[in-house]
């Protein structure tokens, strides 16, 4: 394996009842809590009342920061930072999925940093030399794995750029993860999040090194788990075993563990981020459209790994197939799974109706240095056109 340094500072409290059991003690050192959430679904499913009840019983002053959108914008980050400073909040509690958590990581930094965090930390990698506002998270959607990393994907609407950075200093101090909290997520959103989990793992798996390594072995098990448990959760959205497994799959996919010793690709994420910046398409659904087409463009450069994917993840027997035929069978199995769980297979299904804008979007995409095959903007445009 390649050399690496592993760090993860987030303490996880996982399981049924974990919020009731641990929230009061984890917020004990703080007086004014900025409660952050999205469009208000937590008010419909009882999570809001439960969390607020615990905080108020503990004597906390609660300041609400609501309306965080599916793709958090830099403007929303600045709004949250202003509120945190004006209210003199001494911690942020993010309740929701990846978008809420990502936004709050950026808010935690912006509240304590005097400069422009977009220019200094998202437009290019930076060095954080201030202490961000303490952050805790309560996870209600399994998908991004944002609860156990310092990663935050933010959209600058003015510049039409959607960029993610991962700073260890932005890791939440704690994550409360009760799988029951994910029950009320609509099946469509659950499936989108489930594919995002699978995508994160594949983006790491399909990269060097190809030699035998622990990370690839773990990822094959995780991919099988996501596929098996997503099928089960579709059949019964309140299957606790399936929902708890998906929740932990999500965390393990993005808590840096499986990335150790790997180059990582994330070209599909680069492409989908820019599609999202221009069209506001759903992240997991956009990835579902792109992945099979992208993999048909790169499989020859990573042939041994694609053969492993077919055999060890999808259980496809060789049965006289060449390596290339086996690799393609694995990609076909992925595409069939996408259709099976009801995800889209074309950009038109995502609401992208103007084919002429694809070149501008392709030209704006970042180029991954970890891919088996380094993309060009011309080839990215080909992929978009094949997906259209």
Beta strands in the chain (DSSP E): 11-14, 32-36, 61-65, 91-96, 135-139, 151-156, 161-166, 174-177
- Residues of each domain in the chain carrying CATH 3.40.50.1970: 11-182
**CA nearest neighbour of 72 among 180, 176, 144:** 144
Contacts of 291 (CB under 8 A, 6+ apart): 199, 202, 268, 334, 338
Q: For residue 359, what are the CA distances in angstroms to 82, 211, 296, 363?
A: 37, 37, 20, 6
Q: Where are the alpha helices (DSSP H) in 214-302?
A: 214-235, 240-254, 267-279, 283-298
CA 86/CA 78 separation, integer angstroms? 12
Rounded to the nearest angstrom, the gap between the alpha carbon of residue 376 and the centroid of all alpha carbons in its chain is 25
Main-chain phi, psi angles of 60, to 5 degrees: -85, 150
pLDDT of 112: 97
Q: How many CB atoms lie within 10 A of CB 153?
A: 24
Below-50 pLDDT ranges, the chain: none
Specify whether the CB–CB gap between 223 and 201 falls below 8 A: yes
pLDDT of 281: 86
**CA nearest neighbour of 198 among 140, 269, 304, 103:** 269
Mind listing the pLDDT tens digit for each residue in 354-379?
Answer: 899 999 999 999 999 999 999 999 99
- Residues of each domain in the chain carrying CATH 1.20.1090.10: 187-387
DSSP 312: I
**CA nearest neighbour of 337 among 314, 304, 319:** 314
CATH number among 3.40.50.1970, 3.40.50.970, 3.30.360.10, 1.10.760.10, domain 11-182: 3.40.50.1970
CA 372/CA 303 separation, integer angstroms? 9
pLDDT of 7: 85
Q: What tokens appear for 106 in the block?
A: 């950026």
Q: What tokens appear for 122 in the block?
A: 């998202």
Q: What is the DSSP string of 111-149?
A: TT-SS-HIIIIISS-----S-PPPEEEEE-S-SS-GGGS
pLDDT of 280: 80
Residue range 187-387 forms a domain whose CATH class is mainly alpha
CA 278/CA 272 separation, integer angstroms? 10
Q: Is 200 helix (H, G, I), strand (E, B) or coil?
A: helix
CA 347/CA 279 separation, integer angstroms? 10
CA 202/CA 56 separation, integer angstroms? 42
Burial of 139: CB neighbours in 10 Å, binned 0-12, 13-18, 19+ = buried
Q: Is 2 helix (H, G, I), strand (E, B) or coil?
A: coil
pLDDT of 4: 84
């Amino acid at each position: 394996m390649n050399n690496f340094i592993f760090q993860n500072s987030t303490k996880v409290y996982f399981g049924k009842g974990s919020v009731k059991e641990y929230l009061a003690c984890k917020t004990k050192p703080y007086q004014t809590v900025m409660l952050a959430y999205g469009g208000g679904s937590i008010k419909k499913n009882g999570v809001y009342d439960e969390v607020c009840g615990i905080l108020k019983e503990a004597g906390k002053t609660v300041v609400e920061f609501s309306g965080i959108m599916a793709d958090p914008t830099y403007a929303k980050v600045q709004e949250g930072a202003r509120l945190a400073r004006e209210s003199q909040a001494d911690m942020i509690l993010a309740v929701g999925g990846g978008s809420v958590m990502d936004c709050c990581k950026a808010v935690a930094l912006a509240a304590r940093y005097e400069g422009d965090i977009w220019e200094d930390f998202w437009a290019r990698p930076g060095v954080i030399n201030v202490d961000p506002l303490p952050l805790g998270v309560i996870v209600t959607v399994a998908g991004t794995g944002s609860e156990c990393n310092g990663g935050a994907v933010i959209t600058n609407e003015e510049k039409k750029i959607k960029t993610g950075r991962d700073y260890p200093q932005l890791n939440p101090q704690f994550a409360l993860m009760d799988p029951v909290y994910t029950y009320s997520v609509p099946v469509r959103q659950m499936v989108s999040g489930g594919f995002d989990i699978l995508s994160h793992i594949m983006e790491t798996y399909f990269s060097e090194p190809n030699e035998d390594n622990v990370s690839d072995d773990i990822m094959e098990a995780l991919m099988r788990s996501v596929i098996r448990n997503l099928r089960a959760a579709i059949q019964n959205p309140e299957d606790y075993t399936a929902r708890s497994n998906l929740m932990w799959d999500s965390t393990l996919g993005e808590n840096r563990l499986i990335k150790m010793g790997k180059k990582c690709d994330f070209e599909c994420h680069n492409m989908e981020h820019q599609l999202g910046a221009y069209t506001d398409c759903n992240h997991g659904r956009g990835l579902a459209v792109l992945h099979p087409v992208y993999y048909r463009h790169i499989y020859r450069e990573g042939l041994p790994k694609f053969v492993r994917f077919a055999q060890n993840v999808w259980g496809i027997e060789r049965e006289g197939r060449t390596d290339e035929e086996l690799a393609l069978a694995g990609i076909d199995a992925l595409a069939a799974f996408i259709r099976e769980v009801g995800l889209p297979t074309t950009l038109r299904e995502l609401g992208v109706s103007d084919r002429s804008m694809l070149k501008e979007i392709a030209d704006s995409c970042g180029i991954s240095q970890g891919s088996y095959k380094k993309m060009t903007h011309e080839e990215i445009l080909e992929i978009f056109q094949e997906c259209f």
